[in-house]
Amino acid sequence: MKRYSITFFAIGLCLFLFTEPVAAKGKVKVFILAGQSNMEGHGQVGSLEHLGNHPKYGALLKKLKSSDGTWAVRKDVTVAWKSREGKKKGPLSVGWGAEDQELGPELMFGTIMGERYDEHVLLIKVAWGGKSVWCDFRSPSAGEMTWDEKRVLKRDNFLKPGLFYRKLVADIKEGLANIKDVVPGYEGQGYDLAGLAWFQGWNDFCEWHLQLDKKPVGLGLIKRYPHNLAAMFRDLRKDLGAPGLPIAIGELGVGGHEMETRAKREDDHEAQGMMAFRRAQRAVAADKSLKGVTFIPTAGFWDSRLQELREQSDAWWNEKEEKGIKSTEENHLPTKELNAEFLRLGVHWYCHYNGSAANYSLVGYALAEALKE
């Protein structure tokens, strides 16, 4: 009997290992995750554990882990990202950010959607760093550029207006056309284009201070943002044949709520520019000619302690330069304790939420909550 038991066990094991993937049930739920570098994602995977310390959302960390404590790999959620260097498709887990040790909103977004739907979930990421809506993502119905936009384009004549809008549409269409090659077990059941999460804005905001020919053209770009983004959403819905596509706009939350306090100071023009930009984002969702567009606040996810360490690190960097001390991963800050804390919380550029994986994950959570219905 033992011999037969072993034989049957071996046959069963072979069937388990070599059988084709189980077909995905029902229409695949497809979500587009689009934007610039913050949708690419620069949250440091090594800082993700800190999410568990959040006073309100700490319990979300458990959703990202397997029973053995390792980072979960969700086979019911697939990520496809054509323009990414390195892996371009695969199951959802950590490491789907701009680099293999980074993550963006996709991790928590996909986790929430995977829990929400019985159907397979496909996340099509389409994001490129350093791209604006006034120029790079400019769509046909945005119309003729304003004087401010033309003047900035004259300075930056290497830019190609609309190039990345066309890439955006092409990559989404290609991802949908190739769904059978991406989703495990796909058998032609079709898909439901269920929503677009838009997380972008730095390059439309960051030249708030720019003056050309004695005119505040940088503020002019911010003022025109609602027109340009609304036009892009209309054109994208048309080009994808999805007139009712639900859209969620993630707020540019860099600097957190402190920006609102700072903006009250007469001389803090950066904060005033940021608040003007956030109002511009809100205005798109408030546009009565656009339906199904939601503004998602994210400034509350900003890590103020990480920002304090960032500012200390910047000051220490200047001191190291003066003293001829080489910068390493071990001396972002002058003491071992502060350096270890900095690494636990993030470590990346200010415009990338200082590399906080917790911040990116909470953005993904908020976007998913807005779109999961």
Q: Would you say residue 211 lies in a domain? A: yes
Question: Cβ–Cβ contacts within 10 Å for residue 76, how many?
Answer: 18
pLDDT in tens, 138-196: 999 999 999 999 999 999 999 999 999 999 999 999 999 999 999 999 999 999 999 99
What pLDDT was estimated at residue 67? 96
Backbone conformation region of residue 162, classed left if phi is above 0, alpha if psi is from -120 to 50, else beta: left
Same-domain status, 224 and 250: yes
pLDDT in tens, 246-264: 999 999 999 999 999 999 9
Same-domain status, 285 and 327: no
Question: Cβ–Cβ contacts within 10 Å for residue 42, how many?
Answer: 25
The percent of residues above 90 in pLDDT, for the chain, comes to 91
- Comparing CA positions, the residue from 201, 195, 314, 204 lying closest to residue 253 is 201
- Angstrom distance (rounded) from CA 264 to CA 226: 23
Domain that holds residue 330: 304-352
Q: Would you say residue 49 lies in a domain? A: yes
What pLDDT was estimated at residue 2? 41
What pLDDT was estimated at residue 21? 45
Q: Would you say residue 66 lies in a domain? A: yes
Q: Would you say residue 9 lies in a domain? A: no
Q: Would you say residue 213 lies in a domain? A: yes
- Angstrom distance (rounded) from CA 136 to CA 148: 15
Same-domain status, 205 and 332: no
pLDDT in tens, 196-240: 999 999 999 999 999 999 999 999 999 999 999 999 999 999 999
Q: How confident is the model at residue 7 (pLDDT cuts 50, 70, 90)?
A: very low
- Angstrom distance (rounded) from CA 320 to CA 214: 38
Same-domain status, 274 and 311: no
Taking 80 as the threshold, does the pLDDT of residue 1 lie above it? no
- Angstrom distance (rounded) from CA 246 to CA 365: 16
Residue with tokens 């189980």: 22
Dihedral in degrees, nearest 10, Cα atoms 303, 308, 313, 315? 150
pLDDT in tens, 308-340: 999 999 999 999 999 999 999 999 999 999 999
Q: Would you say residue 269 lies in a domain? A: yes
Residue type, 233: F
Name 32's bridge partners: 124, 196
Q: Would you say residue 100 lies in a domain? A: yes
Give, rounded to a whole angstrom, the gap between the first and last alpha carbons of the chain.
54
The encoded tokens of residue 155 equal 């300075």
Residue type, 321: E
What pLDDT was estimated at residue 87? 84
What pLDDT was estimated at residue 25? 76
Looking only at Cα atoms, what is the longest distance across the chain?
92
What pLDDT was estimated at residue 275? 99
Residue type, 154: K
Same-domain status, 332 and 290: no
In the chain, how many domains are there?
A: 2
Domain containing 162 — which CATH number? 3.40.50.1110
Query: Chain-wide mean pLDDT for the chain?
Result: 94
Q: What number of CA atoms fall less than 13 Å from residue 269's CA on the CB side?
A: 9
What pLDDT was estimated at residue 20? 42
Q: Would you say residue 1 lies in a domain? A: no
Same-domain status, 167 and 310: no
Same-domain status, 258 and 233: yes
Same-domain status, 110 and 154: yes
Same-domain status, 220 and 299: yes
What pLDDT was estimated at residue 24? 57
Same-domain status, 190 and 244: yes
Same-domain status, 129 and 268: yes
- Angstrom distance (rounded) from CA 168 to CA 175: 11
DSSP 203: H
Same-domain status, 39 and 93: yes
pLDDT in tens, 237-249: 999 999 999 999 9
Q: What number of CA atoms fall less than 13 Å from residue 233's CA on the CB side?
A: 26
- Comparing CA positions, the residue from 81, 92, 72 lying closest to residue 33 is 81
